[in-house]
Amino acid sequence: MTRSLTIALTKGRILKETLPLFAEAGIEPLEDIFTSRRLLFDTTVDGVKLVILRGSDVPTYVRHGAADVGVVGKDILLEFGAEGLYEPLDLAIAKCRLMTAGFATARTAGPRLRVASKFVNIARQHYAAQGIQADIIKLYGAMELAPLMNLADEIVDIVDTGNTLTANGMVPLGHIADISSRLVVNKAAMRTRHRSIEKLIYDLSQAVERRDQPS
């Protein structure tokens, strides 16, 4: 019996933008993901299952072969690495920017910067590349609070509209990367399940193109 093709999806905002794209490609869950307590879902395509995960877990499931394919933000791939994964398609959803931010005078605070972020690897690499000495403080949320409470001079965070920064008296200081959600594929699965995965990539790429065409 052929094992199901398992696709790992990131919960939250990315999931809300992913499901319509998959539906356009002909893949829909057989029950409402947002009301069900299940984490693994059958779909309208025989032999294709969806699993719903935290974004930071998606590359791990795909890398180790528990899922064959995944959808995850580029920020997660930059932070944790993409070893063992192919990244064949930019789905161009959940777009945002990864930036440094703080008060306009933050860099006069002293010889070393204190930087708060959940993206500790990205932050460390970014400031090192700029030749700036930075002590990285790992936080998991409410980054804007760190400069306000004098915990950090700057932050590295995802910026969408920038309204939260403005509301807290901060400004974007530096652009690190443009972020969107990517399709990732387990390298071994790409070899052993080439036909079904190539079809998925093609169907999703066509859905992306149709969505992006002017109406």
CA of 11: how far to CAs of 8, 51, 72, in Å?
10, 10, 9
Question: What digits encode the pLDDT tens for the residues 68-100?
Answer: 999 999 999 999 988 899 999 999 999 999 999
Q: Domain boundaries in the chain?
A: 5-94+180-212, 96-178
Supply the pLDDT for residue 189.
Answer: 95
Question: What digits encode the pLDDT tens for the residues 145-172?
Answer: 999 999 999 999 999 888 889 898 999 9
At the topology level of CATH, where does 5-94+180-212 sit? D-Maltodextrin-Binding Protein; domain 2 (3.40.190)
Q: Taking all residues of the chain, what is their mean pLDDT, rounded to a whole number?
A: 92
Same fold, 5-94+180-212 and 96-178: yes
Which neighbouring-strand residues pair with 97? 159, 178
Supply the pLDDT for residue 157.
Answer: 95
Supply the pLDDT for residue 105.
Answer: 73
Supply the pLDDT for residue 110.
Answer: 56
In this model, does residue 64 exceed pLDDT 50? yes
Supply the pLDDT for residue 1.
Answer: 47
d(CA 160, CA 199): 32
Give the DSSP H/E element, type plus range, for residue 215.
none
Q: What is the CA radius of gyration of the chain?
A: 19
- Decide yes or no: CATH 3.40.190.10 for domain 96-178: yes
Contact 18, 42 (CB under 8 A): no
